[in-house]
Amino acid sequence: MRNSPPWSPVRRHADRRLGVRLAVAAGAVVVAALPVTLLGVLVLAAWDPLRDLDETAARGLHDAVVGHPVAVDVLEAWTNVFSPWPFRLAVVAMAGWLIHRGAPRLAAWALVTIVTGGVLGVLAKALVGRARPHLPHPVAHAPGASFPSGHALTATLGCGILLLALLPVLHGRWRTLAWTLAVVLPLCTGMTRIALGVHWVSDVIGGWLLGIAVVLATATGFEAWRRDVGRTPGRPGRTGVEPEAAAELESPGPHRGGSH
């Protein structure tokens, strides 16, 4: 398949199978997101232990920044820089670059993943309809429903997508740095939302869990497609979702034929 032209029957059949695999993976998110579903049910039921945890943690973090305008400014700057739209635009920009470099299927995986996660986040907010915290001394405000946190969800999605797409060309310390950022950025982004008093702890946990579920489901779908077309089984967490793309991504010029 490496040298088959884009219009060949083999390539077209492989593309169709990838589309089916990604569609099935998007549906499989429902299963992968069972922990998020359970958390949402507990939120709707106002389960006392979860409510106590939410209120204690939210007030504790919020009280730590009330009366400290510099801390509030730093938190607001962070939450603005790492808000959902910068991550979405980063994924779209990367997808365009991947297409230019000859890795259209990897670009398709990235776009399907970010769109699926965004849609599920909107649906979850509408279904749960949770109100945001009402604290005695608010320092920030946010519109819409509270569960799950869109910032936590999209930061997890964006970092996961960028990481698994670019791992084939990252080595040594760069790979360690990429993994560190992919963990730290969503964690810190979620914590800023709690400290600013615009989300409960369970909102942020729900966002993290849903983001992880979506990335895992679509990465599993992509790996299943790779096996379908006879490729060596990979380890997405170590080599990315498409290790074969390294040749295109590392080469000095764009590849029109692709590695497929």
- At 115 the three-state DSSP class reads helix
Tokens standing for 52?
């106590």
Confidence of residue 78 (pLDDT cuts 50, 70, 90): very high
Closest CA to 37 of 209, 191, 164, 153: 209
Q: Are 43 and 128 in contact (CB under 8 A)?
A: yes
Q: Are 43 and 130 in contact (CB under 8 A)?
A: yes
Give the span between the Cα atoms of 109 and 98, in whole angstroms.
11
Residue 148, preceding bond cis, omega within 30 degrees? yes
Confidence of residue 178 (pLDDT cuts 50, 70, 90): very high
Model confidence at 86: pLDDT above 50: yes
Find the mean pLDDT for residues 158-166. Answer: 96
What is the model's pLDDT at position 47?
A: 87
The answer to whether the predicted template modeling score (pTM) of the entire model surpasses 0.75 is yes
What is the model's pLDDT at position 222?
A: 82
Q: Which residues contact 126 (CB under 8 A, 6 or more apart)?
A: 145
Find the mean pLDDT for residues 224-252. Answer: 76
Residue type, position 172, single letter:
G
Confidence of residue 119 (pLDDT cuts 50, 70, 90): very high
What is the model's pLDDT at position 90?
A: 97
Domain ranges, ordered by start, for the chain? 9-250
Higher pLDDT among residues 203 and 135, named by residue: 203
